[in-house]
Amino acid sequence: MEEVNVGIVGLGNVGSGTLAILAENADQIALKLGFRLRVAAVCSRSVQERAIPQAFAAARRTTNWRDLVTDPGVQIVAELVGGNGVAGDIIDAAIAHRKSVVTANKELMGSCGPEIWDRAIRAGINLAMEASVCGGIPIHAVLREGISGDRVTALHGILNGTSNYILTEMEKRGDPLDTILAEAQKLGYAEADPSADIDGFDARSKLALLAALAFGEKILPSDIFVEGIRRISPMDFRYAHTLEHTIRLVCTARQTHDGLILSVRPALIPQSTILASVQGAYNAVWVKGAFGQDTFYYGRGAGPKPTGVAVVSDLMRVAREIRFGSPERVSPFAHERLGEYKPVSVTLQKSAYYLRFRVSDRPGILALLAGILASKHISLESVLQEPCDTKHDLPFVITVEPTSEQSVCDAVAEMAQLDFLREPPLALPMETGL
């Protein structure tokens, strides 16, 4: 049985998970393919200290990725280094040497993936990137092939496991964000610099890629409105529960009359919606199609083995093509060519809103806030106030009927000037279309 030879650059979380699966699941993989995948070479800066499974003890070990990429014995290069730096050079060199590439790199594929695909096609090789978004959920395959016959109208996702872990722990235990974040950092669930996770940037890069596949437009992360979870506190969950909602960092791409509106932001979602049941570090993607209607995908968003499965499955797909040929390659972006995306402002969208205030109490506050809302033609829906001992830092919530985000932004900007507010109002959309 002739083998297909793989070279792996990067032996960190994903690289080591990939190697372990290739070794431990080798027989199953061979049964499915009809031939074996052999790891011919591995590379990382500290390759000599890395444990390589016995099955691949004969693999070439190098600290220089150029040795691996130019090795005539390597047919597919797995780029598992990450980032926008050397990873780009590795992929470019692999394409130049006419080797197919499997990558888990969302930054690189999000910023210049379509151009890399163009080069790959011209070189006659394949490029696969299933692991780049929602590690353990085969969402690329779904959008590229499984439901490619549909026309996607909306995509909602929980795409960052760390922020979802923090929010769901806050909801369960009532502890503040800082306490849960510190624990998550100790357990290794969150980075020392947590900004990418809790400020929404990681989720935004992932949404940019998924929206490109779903809607066929080249979307840059910077085109997407982003707001993180830093301002969410346990009291927001208590108020949300009173309203029969919960709070999640929701990634949304929605086709509207004005165009495709994209956002990553904390939002109130009904407790009854399936997205509300996504707990801990799990990810989920909900796709709405014009014809097939709703489909929902759920699983681990990261981790060596779940992400390793995505990498190995891509290696198998590409290896099959090397062995048996393929009459037609499917673009990893699900469209032969991506269109140019003209960003549409989230201020155009309409929604009900949750407005949470912290005030130094005095008579007439509610009348003043209601007056500002009325001046923007915003109708008040309800006022909620938990019992509170102190008058110096009194929280309460106003919910408003569906209105344009622009009106809410204008009202919040005006309210933020009021001297009795302890901080600017927190405004969260209440998602109803889920």
Ligand X SMILES: NC(=O)c1ccc[n+]([C@@H]2O[C@H](COP(=O)([O-])OP(=O)(O)OC[C@H]3O[C@@H](n4cnc5c(N)ncnc54)[C@H](OP(=O)(O)O)[C@@H]3O)[C@@H](O)[C@H]2O)c1
Q: How far apart are the first and last CA of the chain?
A: 50
Nearest approach, Cβ of residue 267 and ligand X (Å): 24
Nearest approach, Cβ of residue 9 and ligand X (Å): 6
Nearest approach, Cβ of residue 188 and ligand X (Å): 11
How many residues comprise the chain?
434
Whole-angstrom Cα distance, residue 75 to residue 340? Answer: 34
Q: Sort residue 159 into left (φ over 0), alpha (ψ -120 to 50) or beta.
A: alpha
Would you call 377 helix, strand, or coil by DSSP?
A: coil
Whole-angstrom Cα distance, residue 299 to residue 25? Answer: 20
**Tokens in use for 420?**
């009795």
Give the residue with the Cβ less far from ligand X, 137 or 316: 137
Nearest approach, Cβ of residue 285 and ligand X (Å): 14
**Tokens in use for 92?**
């470019």
Of 288, 346, 2, 330, give the one whose Cα is nearest residue 151.
Answer: 288
Give the residue with the Cβ less far from ligand X, 308 or 395: 308
Give the residue with the Cβ less far from ligand X, 100 or 105: 105
Give the residue with the Cβ less far from ligand X, 105 or 313: 105
Nearest approach, Cβ of residue 170 and ligand X (Å): 23
Give the residue with the Cβ less far from ligand X, 196 or 427: 196
Which residue carries 């959309």 as its tokens?
Answer: 429
Asked if 172 is an active-site residue, the reply is no
Helix spans in 70-123 (H): 86-96, 106-123
Give the residue with the Cβ less far from ligand X, 13 or 273: 13
Would you call 268 helix, strand, or coil by DSSP?
A: strand
Residue numbers at the binding site for ligand X (CB under 6 A): 9-15, 43-46, 65, 80-82, 86, 104-106, 131, 135, 302-303, 307
Q: Sort residue 82 into left (φ over 0), alpha (ψ -120 to 50) or beta.
A: left
Whole-angstrom Cα distance, residue 119 to residue 114? Answer: 9
Whole-angstrom Cα distance, residue 160 to residue 250? Answer: 9
Nearest approach, Cβ of residue 309 and ligand X (Å): 11
Letter for the amino acid at 323?
R
CB 341 within 8 A of CB 223: yes
Give the residue with the Cβ less far from ligand X, 94 or 131: 131
Whole-angstrom Cα distance, residue 379 to residue 341? Answer: 34
Name the catalytic one among 106, 206, 218, 288: 206
Non-local (6+) Cβ contacts of 14 within 8 A are 80, 104, 131, 135, 304, 307, 308, 311
Nearest approach, Cβ of residue 16 and ligand X (Å): 8
Residues designated as active site: 206
